[in-house]
Amino acid sequence: MQIIGGKAIASDIIERLKSRPLPKRFLGAVLVGDDKSSISFLKQKEKTAKELGVDFRMYRFPKDITNDELRGEVGKIAAHKTCGGVIVQLPLPEHLNQYYVLNAIPKEKDVDVLCGQALGAFYVGRSEVLPPAVGTVNEIISTLNIELENCSVAIVGLGILVGRPIANWIMRRAKETMLLRSTSDLIALKDADIVITGTGRAGLISPDMLKDGASVIDFGYGTVEGKYSGDLDARELAVRAERLGFYTPTPGGTGPILVAKLFENFYELNK
């Protein structure tokens, strides 16, 4: 079994970016409320920005902000002449419509590829950049020299950030693609060479549910019995490791690569 260290891959991406001209515009990040996970993720992005020398500006708004107020504020940030990109940290509080808010970001400043125009361009193969989760999968596949056209791939979880864009990208490349939700019968995983999962239901998948030699790219994040775990049950890995080809651990797997790919998008949109 091979453990894919995300920090090493992310470091390679960051080093590539350091050799490129530094964007002169700032990257704005919007945080609503005080969710600890969201703050942690933004801190990681802020740390990477400092390493690169990127002007990273965080905008914080109260949890009770309205849809119209937040959309207006995001629009103001994006409209600034020296703004080169905008991040709206998800998830937003339940009373907010994320699509309504995200659509205030122009396609050319959407480093997460989440507004309607950016997603539309991506789905028809005309986007300048890939959604960070797709870029992460592409980076791992490329690093390991995996030929997707010979692989059956199962995608578990079809959310806007991970599963949905990855499914669109994988279906055009893999030999076979299986789309599953966290509530689906996961027996189909026995037929998959690669499982890509992002349900956020920690410990949902055990190694026994996979065929021998299968590999896992895990975007999930949570805790099982007080220990950090992705969707792949970390408790079983020590005794079942021989069953896997490779897997991305949680934490330290896909997370660092996601952040690096986001900054790669920022550079690409501001070249």
Query: Is the pLDDT assigned to residue 238 strictly greater than 70?
Result: no
pLDDT of residue 136: 98
Q: Residue by residue, what is the 3-state secondary structure of 228-261?
A: EECCECHHHHHHHHHHEEEECCCCCCHHHHHHHH
Query: Is the pLDDT assigned to residue 237 strictly greater than 80?
Result: no
Q: Mean pLDDT, to the nearest integer, of 83-94? A: 97
Average pLDDT, the chain: 95
Going from the C-alpha of 52 to that of each of 49, 55, 142, the distances in angstroms are 5, 9, 24
Q: Is the pTM of this model over 0.85?
A: yes
Q: Mean pLDDT, to the nearest integer, of 1-16? A: 94
DSSP state of 81: T
Q: Mean pLDDT, to the nearest integer, of 3-8? A: 94
Q: Mean pLDDT, to the nearest integer, of 63-67? A: 98
Q: Mean pLDDT, to the nearest integer, of 154-173? A: 96
pLDDT of residue 228: 82
Q: In this predicted model, what pLDDT tens digit does every residue of 187-228 receive, in sequence order? A: 999 999 999 999 989 999 998 899 999 999 999 988 888 888
CB-based burial label for 137 (10 Å; 0-12, 13-18, 19+): buried
Query: Is the pLDDT assigned to residue 1 strictly greater than 90?
Result: no
Contact assessment for residue 83 and residue 26, using Cβ atoms and an 8 Å cutoff? yes
Main-chain phi, psi angles of 94, to 5 degrees? -60, -30
Three-class SS of residue 222?
Answer: strand
Q: In this predicted model, what pLDDT tens digit does every residue of 108-159 receive, in sequence order? A: 999 999 999 999 999 999 999 999 999 999 999 999 999 999 999 999 999 9
Q: In this predicted model, what pLDDT tens digit does every residue of 12-64 receive, in sequence order? A: 999 999 999 999 999 999 999 999 989 999 999 999 999 999 999 999 999 99
Contact assessment for residue 259 and residue 98, using Cβ atoms and an 8 Å cutoff? no
DSSP state of 25: S
Pair type for strands 227-229 and 222-224: antiparallel
State the residue for tokens 């361009």.
Answer: 121
- The distance from CA 44 to its chain's CA centroid, rounded to whole angstroms, is 13
Query: Is the pLDDT assigned to residue 85 strictly greater than 80?
Result: yes
Which residues touch 94 (CB under 8 Å, ≥6 apart)? none
Which residues touch 145 (CB under 8 Å, ≥6 apart)? none
- Give the closest residue to 41 by CA, choosing from 112, 103, 96: 112
Going from the C-alpha of 71 to that of each of 28, 56, 61, the distances in angstroms are 14, 20, 12
Spatial distance between the Cα atoms of 83 and 38, rounded to a whole number of angstroms: 22
Contact assessment for residue 259 and residue 48, using Cβ atoms and an 8 Å cutoff? yes
Spatial distance between the Cα atoms of 239 and 9, rounded to a whole number of angstroms: 26
Tokens representing 146 are: 């995996």
